[in-house]
A and B are shown apart, each in its own frame.
Chain A
Amino acid sequence: MKNRPFSPFLLFLFATASLLSSCKKDGDSQAVVSPAQPTVGTVSFEMDNRVGAKALALDGTAYPTAHGETFTVTTLEYYVSNIKFSKADGTSYAAPGEYHLINAAKPATSSFAVSNVPIGDYTGVSFVVGVDSTTTKSDPLALTGDLNPANAMYWAWATGHIFMKLEGTVTSTSPTKPLTCHIGGYRAPYNAIVTASPSLNGSTLLVRADHSPKLYFSADVLKMFDGVTYFALSAFPPTMAPSASSVQVAQNYAAGMFNVERIQAN
Chain B
Amino acid sequence: MRFAKLLLARRQLLARWQLAAGLALGSLLAAGTSCEADHDRLVAVPGSHQPANFPAMVYGLDKNAPDAATFELGRRLFYDARLSSDGTVSCGSCHQASVAFAHAGQRLSPGVSGQLGRRNAPALQNLRWHQGFMADGGVLGLELQALAPLTDRAEMNTSLADALAKLNADVAYRQRFAAIYGPGTIDTPQFLRALAQFTAALTSANSRYDHYVRYEAGGTLTSQELGGRALFQAKCASCHATELFTDESFRNNGLDRTFPRDSGRAHITARPTDAGRFKVPSLRNVARTAPYMHDGRFGTLAQVLAHYDHGVVPSRTLDPLLRQPNGQLGIPLAAREQADLLAFLNTLTDNDFLTDHRLLAPQP
Q: Which residues of B sit under 8 angstroms from A144, Cβ to Cβ?
A: 187-189
Q: How far is the CA of A143 from the CA of B143 in the complex (A)?
A: 12
Interface string of A155-198 (1 = CB under 8 A from B): 01111000000000000000000000000000101100000000
Q: Which residues of A sit under 8 angstroms from B269, Cβ to Cβ?
A: 187
- Cβ of B140 within 8 Å of any chain A Cβ, yes or no, is yes
Query: Min CB distance, B127 to chain A, in Å?
Result: 15
Q: Please name the residue on chain B nearest to A9 by beta carbon.
A: B18
Q: Are B151 and A156 in contact (CB under 8 A)?
A: yes
Q: Which residues of A sit under 8 angstroms from B17, Cβ to Cβ?
A: 10
Q: How far is the CA of A156 from the CA of B143 in the complex (A)?
A: 11
The answer to whether residues A20 and B18 also contact, given A140-B192, A157-B152, A189-B271 and a CB cut-off of 8 A, is: no
Q: Which residues of A sit under 8 angstroms from B32, Cβ to Cβ?
A: 20, 23-24
Query: Min CB distance, A71 to chain B, in Å?
Result: 25
The answer to whether residues A154 and B147 also contact, given A10-B18, A16-B25 and a CB cut-off of 8 A, is: yes
- Cβ of B150 within 8 Å of any chain A Cβ, yes or no, is yes
- Cβ of A116 within 8 Å of any chain B Cβ, yes or no, is no
Q: Which of A113-160 contact B (CB under 8 A)?
A: 137, 139-141, 143-144, 148-152, 154, 156-159
Q: How far is the CA of A6 from the CA of B7 in the complex (A)?
A: 12
The answer to whether residues A23 and B38 also contact, given A17-B28, A140-B143 and a CB cut-off of 8 A, is: yes
Q: Are A159 and B188 in contact (CB under 8 A)?
A: no
Q: How far is the CA of A40 from the CA of B270 in the complex (A)?
A: 44
Q: Please name the residue on chain B nearest to A18 by beta carbon.
A: B28
- Cβ of A7 within 8 Å of any chain B Cβ, yes or no, is yes
Q: Which residues of B sit under 8 angstroms from A7, Cβ to Cβ?
A: 14, 18
Query: Min CB distance, A114 to chain B, in Å?
Result: 25
Q: Are A157 and B270 in contact (CB under 8 A)?
A: no
Identify the stretch in B157-165, B253-261, B290-298, B336-344 within 8 Å (CB) of chain A at 4 or more residues.
Answer: B157-165
- Cβ of A242 within 8 Å of any chain B Cβ, yes or no, is yes
Query: Min CB distance, B153 to chain A, in Å?
Result: 11
Query: Min CB distance, A169 to chain B, in Å?
Result: 21
Q: Are B141 and A139 in contact (CB under 8 A)?
A: yes
- Cβ of A94 within 8 Å of any chain B Cβ, yes or no, is no
Q: Are B189 and A150 in contact (CB under 8 A)?
A: no
The answer to whether residues A187 and B268 also contact, given A24-B32, A156-B139, A159-B139 and a CB cut-off of 8 A, is: yes
- Cβ of A55 within 8 Å of any chain B Cβ, yes or no, is no
For A9, A16, A148, A158, the residue with the greatest tally of chain B CB atoms inside 10 Å of its CB is A158
Interface string of B58-83 (1 = CB under 8 A from A): 00000000000000000000000000
Q: Are A141 and B151 in contact (CB under 8 A)?
A: no
Q: Are A150 and B25 in contact (CB under 8 A)?
A: no
The answer to whether residues A157 and B24 also contact, given A140-B193, A149-B147, A189-B270 and a CB cut-off of 8 A, is: no
- Cβ of B138 within 8 Å of any chain A Cβ, yes or no, is yes
Q: How far is the CA of A152 from the CA of B152 in the complex (A)?
A: 13
Q: Which residues of B sit under 8 angstroms from A139, Cβ to Cβ?
A: 141, 143
Q: Are A242 and B270 in contact (CB under 8 A)?
A: yes
- Cβ of B134 within 8 Å of any chain A Cβ, yes or no, is yes
Which of A1, A20, A151 is the one whose CB lies under 8 Å from B35?
Answer: A20
Query: Min CB distance, B194 to chain A, in Å?
Result: 11
The answer to whether residues A13 and B143 also contact, given A143-B188, A144-B188, A152-B161 and a CB cut-off of 8 A, is: no
Q: Are A150 and B150 in contact (CB under 8 A)?
A: no
Q: Which of B267-307 contact A (CB under 8 A)?
A: 267-271
Query: Min CB distance, A144 to chain B, in Å?
Result: 7
Q: Are A157 and B188 in contact (CB under 8 A)?
A: no
Q: Which residues of A sit under 8 angstroms from B3, Cβ to Cβ?
A: 1
- Cβ of B316 within 8 Å of any chain A Cβ, yes or no, is no
Q: Which residues of B sit under 8 angstroms from A150, Cβ to Cβ?
A: 159-161, 164, 187-188
- Cβ of A42 within 8 Å of any chain B Cβ, yes or no, is no
30 A-B pairs whose Cβ atoms sit less than 8 Å apart in the complex? A1-B7, A6-B14, A7-B18, A10-B18, A13-B18, A13-B25, A14-B21, A17-B24, A20-B25, A20-B29, A20-B35, A21-B28, A24-B35, A139-B141, A139-B143, A141-B189, A141-B193, A143-B188, A149-B147, A149-B188, A150-B164, A150-B188, A151-B161, A154-B160, A156-B144, A157-B139, A158-B138, A158-B139, A159-B139, A189-B271
